[in-house]
Chains A and B, each alone.
Chain A
């Protein structure tokens, strides 16, 4: 298993910064560019994100989320806060509405890089309707506003809002089930002597 760079950073190992930037620098930079209108602002956002990452590294718990997911979560939160403060709307011209191929197989390498949760998310996204997939992609991945998505997809504003929000809830529920299934499979594989814990809601 790959050693957690965040754990190393939390313990004061400054040499882990290099590894962290190797591993997640591109991810954060790409995220920022998608969300922020210009390169200068994107660079500022990346600096903010990494400052928060250094500060929050100690809160990373591999039992709760994968490292890439944790980094993406911090990055998204900062980008959302930043946009809210600046009250800026995304530039739709840069947004592609290519059909989402939720079944596209990016292989084992991607799962290693992005984590199991990303693979689950992709699988679960494929279970939503094509329109919901598009709305979620534009909303979550590109940070597009409801109005922009409504214009692009010729959908009523209210529909876009509910598709995005309910779509994310559906995705979460689906991922819970996937995780439970993985846990159950693990218990079965561990043999009859394993202690079977009662299953329940994760929230």
Chain B
């Protein structure tokens, strides 16, 4: 019910002007005074009418949003949409079960959020330039790369970071680390007690978060774990890595994905001081 003192036709025209966006300052002030406690229902109805007309006049074709803008919008979304699958409490609880983790918990959680945000941005950016992920046959089969890993670890510029629980940790703790050399563009993941996957149903995929390069995580390769105990998997970075900030493991459909929704992100290794 409208309680305005203005004649209906006059306030309705002002509301129409507001919906169009053509009110001048004095008209807007007048409208605000008349409806100090809130606009009447007809205001929303006129706005819907203007929106519908705008849609009608726009036709079916829109210009595509620029990719960089889409990425920024997706990054923002993480801040404003509560994650229904959030499991940060699980990360904290599980942290005690990661004896090799050397990064302070608070920092690790912050990195987790940052890395997840970047991954999410990548996922929602959804550049579909490539027709699909890696083919199932391209998956790296986990095997003994222990000697090569040891050699790499002997180099001066290598980094070694421990795995910590991601946003959706495994039911049982998984230990291990990532050894990476930016100079050699080579690295290995080591997992202890990583669940064996069924490659016909799902595969693991590594993502390398490298803000020095871009906000887009780099696809680090799809792989399977076929044996219990310790397994070592070579990293298969699809792009040159400049300064990795974190490594994240997601579980994806067979063949992996170009765009990860991060619904399952069990492990994260953050490179932090």
Contacts and interface: CB of A to CB of B under 8 A. Distances in A.
A51 B51 CA distance: 19
A100 B54 CA distance: 13
B81 A175 contact: no
A151 to B, nearest CB: 15
A21 B126 contact: yes
A69 B51 contact: yes
B52 A69 contact: yes
A102 to B, nearest CB: 8
Nearest to A16: B81
Nearest to A110: B60
**Taking each of A25, A31, A66, which has the highest tally of chain B beta carbons within 10 Å of its own beta carbon?**
A25
Main secondary structure of the interface of A (DSSP, over half): helix
Contact of A165 (B16, B40, B47, B261): B16
Contact of A168 (B20, B28, B59, B83): B20
Interface in A137-175: 137, 139-141, 143, 145-146, 161-162, 164-166, 168-169, 171-172, 175
Interface string A1-18: 000000001011111011
B182 to A, nearest CB: 31
A141 B63 CA distance: 15
A108 B37 CA distance: 42
Interface stretch (A74-82, A180-188, A189-197): A74-82
Contacts of B57: 100, 122, 125, 137, 140-141
Interface in A29-54: 29-31, 33, 43, 46-47, 50-51, 54
Nearest to A77: B47
A21 B124 contact: yes
Nearest to A12: B84
A14 to B, nearest CB: 6
A57 B120 CA distance: 19
Nearest to B23: A84
B21 A141 contact: no
Interface in A65-117: 65-66, 68-70, 72-73, 75-77, 79-80, 83-84, 100, 106-107, 109-110, 113-115, 117
B77 A171 contact: no
B261 to A, nearest CB: 5
Interface stretch (B66-74, B91-99, B233-241): B66-74
B13 A121 contact: no
Main secondary structure of the interface of B (DSSP, over half): helix
B48 A65 contact: yes
A50 B62 contact: no
A25 B60 contact: no
The interface size bin for chain A is 35 or more
A66 B51 CA distance: 10
A25 B124 CA distance: 12
**Taking each of A29, A68, A79, A125, which has the highest tally of chain B beta carbons within 10 Å of its own beta carbon?**
A29
A169 B17 CA distance: 10
A28 B14 CA distance: 26
A65 B58 CA distance: 18
B254 interface: no
B156 interface: no
Contacts of B70: 21, 25
B259 interface: yes
A161 B54 contact: no
Interface in B1-49: 12-14, 16-22, 28, 40-42, 45-49
Contacts of B50: 73, 76, 140, 168
A55 B58 CA distance: 25
25 contacts: A11-B84, A14-B77, A15-B124, A15-B261, A43-B69, A46-B65, A50-B77, A54-B77, A72-B55, A73-B51, A83-B21, A106-B60, A109-B60, A110-B59, A113-B60, A115-B52, A117-B48, A121-B52, A139-B20, A145-B22, A165-B14, A165-B16, A168-B20, A168-B53, A172-B45
Given A25-B70, A84-B21, A168-B20, 13 more contacts: A12-B82, A15-B124, A43-B66, A54-B81, A65-B48, A137-B57, A140-B54, A161-B17, A164-B20, A168-B53, A169-B12, A175-B49, A203-B45
Interface of B: 12-14, 16-22, 28, 40-42, 45-60, 62-66, 69-70, 72-74, 76-78, 80-85, 120, 123-124, 126, 259, 261-263
